[in-house]
Chains A and B, each alone.
Chain A
Amino acid sequence: MTLIDLANPTRFLALSARVLPWLAAATIILLTIGLYQSALAPDDYQQGATVKIMFIHVPNAWLSMFVWGVMSVASLGTLVWRHPLADVAAKAAAPIGASFTFLALLTGSLWGRPMWGTYWEWDARLTSVLILFLMYLGLMALWRAVEDPSRAARAAAVLTLVGALNLPIIKFSVDWWNTLHQPASVMRMGGSTLDKAFLIPLLVMAVAFTLLFVTLHLAAMRNEILRRRVRSLQMMQASRVAFSSEMGTGSRQENASTGAA
């Protein structure tokens, strides 16, 4: 089974139908374990119980960037390899990524209120994630602005690749600009500075959220494929209606051609 075998949508639908229940089950199990572990995690000596927001906030923030990365790879697939499912993958990922980004911003501001004394600060990391959220919304608007999906796909792919430049800015913003947001503590040179009691639940939650994304993404891709089938069936029906009435009286011809367009 290679990537090119999945190019056939029917085969993809069959395979994803078999995989999806297992993925969903694994997601639920891991999420349960992760939430249980985060509930049992000790309170921080400085932050108290509010540190537990981290177990929701950090996976959301990681996923917000990871999803744009997935979309960038899919955009390469659209532009370079012309993989037929690549644009389906890119389109289905955008709303999910926007939701993760929104949740990261929301949980971050809920965490920031007790810790920093403010819901929002124009700090480098916060601002660059807000820009990422705006770009998700713009991308979704671009998908809707063009009627023909394959045409929209290529326009969106170019924009996705240009927008990928924002990812390293977000990643390194806390190191380049020393502002309110704390510097990187998990993925950094010289190992994590986080204690094991926090690190293990956090990593479990990160894997669980990634599985959640994969599950939602596969389901959304199936929906998108089915939606496109419905669309092409409707187009075929419309043209058939137009064709049959063209065969009829000449006076109905004008109606039919407007109906087909």
Chain B
Amino acid sequence: MTALSALIRRDIRIALRVGGGALIGVLFFLTVVVLMPFAVGPDLALLSRLGPAILWLGALLASLLTLDRLFMSDHEDGSLDLIAMSRTPLELACAAKALAHWLAAGLPLIVATPVLGLLLNLDMVATGAVALTLLAGTPALTFTGMIGAALAVTLHRGGLLMAVLVLPLSIPVLIFGVAASQAAITGPSSFGAPFSILCALSLVSLVIGPFAAAASLKHGLD
């Protein structure tokens, strides 16, 4: 337990300090959202209708951008081999690393959402709904993305390939995340059903992600 919490603390500290790059994700998120009015035109009514989808896409791309840091730097300096050799099961270590990554890179995205919602002319309820669905959905993005990150480490030059492999897996999360936030804003349909599926997706990825990532790491490191 202390080994895992030490690992989490270490990863968060590395991510937040100089060169860690976790907060670059927020900057990227802001840039994507700012680009949207240039693409669809500065029509505030249209933007508020597209708002949840834009925020979700931005968060998805931002979390994809930071994913390759999850294992890559540890692989380069050799600490990944030490983690793999330690007595802690690699699956738990992967889960701890993903949790730390979500705390350092995913949570700031959710904190930034209300500010970005203002730019997109979303009202309070809509912003709250989007932030809530992001809170429920981004763990799924991190834990499924971890599988791609683990594969990419073993590939050496797999950065772009990782994006291609991970994005199809993240489509269900995107569908239900946007569906739940749209339901809260406009729809006659209920918020509960898509939101519970979103939570279920996160829980499933919480179980599958560490095992798949640890398996591909074990086979890749040799």
Binding site for B on A (CB under 8 A): 79, 127, 131, 134-135, 137-138, 141-142, 145-146, 151, 154-155, 158-159, 161-163, 165, 169
Contacts and interface: CB of A to CB of B under 8 A. Distances in A.
Given A145-B155, A155-B154, A162 B212 contact: yes
Contact of B171 (A131, A145, A151): A131
Contacts of B172: 169
B164 A154 contact: no
- 5 A-B pairs with least C-beta separation: A154-B219, A158-B216, A138-B165, A134-B168, A138-B164
22 contacts: A131-B168, A134-B168, A135-B168, A142-B151, A142-B155, A142-B161, A142-B165, A145-B158, A151-B219, A151-B222, A154-B215, A154-B220, A155-B151, A155-B216, A155-B219, A158-B147, A159-B165, A161-B212, A162-B144, A162-B169, A163-B169, A169-B172
Nearest to A162: B212
B161 A151 contact: no
A165 B171 CA distance: 13
B220 to A, nearest CB: 7
Contact of A141 (B147, B164, B168, B216): B164
Contacts of A79: 215, 219
Interface in B167-222: 168-169, 171-172, 204, 208, 212, 215-216, 219-220, 222
Contacts of A127: 171
A154 to B, nearest CB: 4
A151 B216 CA distance: 10
A5 B18 CA distance: 57
A79 B214 CA distance: 13
B154 to A, nearest CB: 6
Interface size class of B (residues with CB under 8 A): 20 to 34
A145 B151 CA distance: 11
A134 B169 CA distance: 10
Contacts of A161: 212
Interface string B32-66: 00000000000000000000000000000000000
Given A135-B168, A142-B161, 16 more contacts: A79-B215, A131-B171, A134-B168, A138-B164, A141-B161, A142-B165, A146-B154, A151-B154, A154-B219, A154-B220, A155-B220, A158-B147, A159-B216, A162-B144, A162-B147, A162-B212
A145 B164 CA distance: 13
A19 B198 CA distance: 48
Contact of A146 (B147, B155, B164, B165): B155
A114 B204 CA distance: 40
Contacts of B216: 154-155, 158-159
Contacts of A154: 215-216, 219-220
B136 to A, nearest CB: 19
Contacts of A159: 147, 151, 165, 216
B134 to A, nearest CB: 22
A135 B166 CA distance: 9
A165 B161 CA distance: 20
A164 B174 CA distance: 19
A119 B168 CA distance: 22
B168 A158 contact: no
B175 to A, nearest CB: 9
Residue among A79, A127, A145 having the largest count of chain B Cβ atoms under 10 Å: A145
B208 A162 contact: yes
Contacts of B151: 142, 155, 158-159
Contacts of B171: 127, 131
B152 to A, nearest CB: 9
Nearest to B150: A158
Nearest to B158: A145
A162 B210 CA distance: 12
Interface in B113-168: 144, 147, 151, 154-155, 157-158, 161, 164-165, 168
A154 B161 CA distance: 16
Nearest to A152: B155
Contacts of B155: 142, 145-146, 155
Nearest to B219: A154
A127 B164 CA distance: 17
Contacts of B144: 162
Contacts of A137: 164
A138 B147 contact: no
Nearest to A169: B172
